[in-house]
Amino acid sequence: MIILQEVTKLTHGYARTGGKKNRNQQRARMLAFAEFAAVEGAYALGQVGRRHVVEYWKQHRNLSPATLYSHWLAIRDLWKLAGKPQEPPRPLSMTKETKLKSAC
């Protein structure tokens, strides 16, 4: 799977700096997302888009909001490393909480 090789190469330097435990957790989340995208039919990182992220959230909707946020941060960092424009979509539970906090 080429997508896993691409993510491994992109995240090699990412995991070398900063807090090692957190960076390794985030790297594992990035690789898990890449594996999910590969199962969904993406051959390379350039083929991964918003649809894959939305499907990923649907598969992981049982996770707590804090865990979903951690996964979103990992995917966002992967997006930046890959040079993709904008940000990936947020999980629905995260956007609902954000709206509630801003309304108060």
Residue 102 maps to a domain: no
pLDDT digits (tens, 9 = 90+) for 2-51: 999 999 999 998 888 788 899 999 999 999 999 999 999 999 999 999 99
Side chain identity, residue 6: E
When divided into structural domains, the chain yields a total of: 1
pLDDT digits (tens, 9 = 90+) for 55-71: 999 999 999 999 999 99
Q: What's 60's domain CATH number?
A: 1.10.150
Q: Which domain holds residue 14?
A: 2-97
Q: What is the pTM of this model?
A: 0.86
- Quick one: pLDDT band at residue 92, thresholds 50, 70, 90? confident
pLDDT at res. 20: 85
CA distances 53 to 19, 32, 34, Å, are: 26, 12, 10
Which runs of consecutive H residues, i.e. helices, occur in the chain?
2-16, 20-39, 50-59, 65-82, 92-103
Residue 92 maps to a domain: yes
Residue 104 maps to a domain: no
Scan for tokens 């070398």, then name that residue: 16
Residue 49 maps to a domain: yes
Measured from the Cβ of residue 12, the count of other Cβ atoms closer than 10 Å reads 10
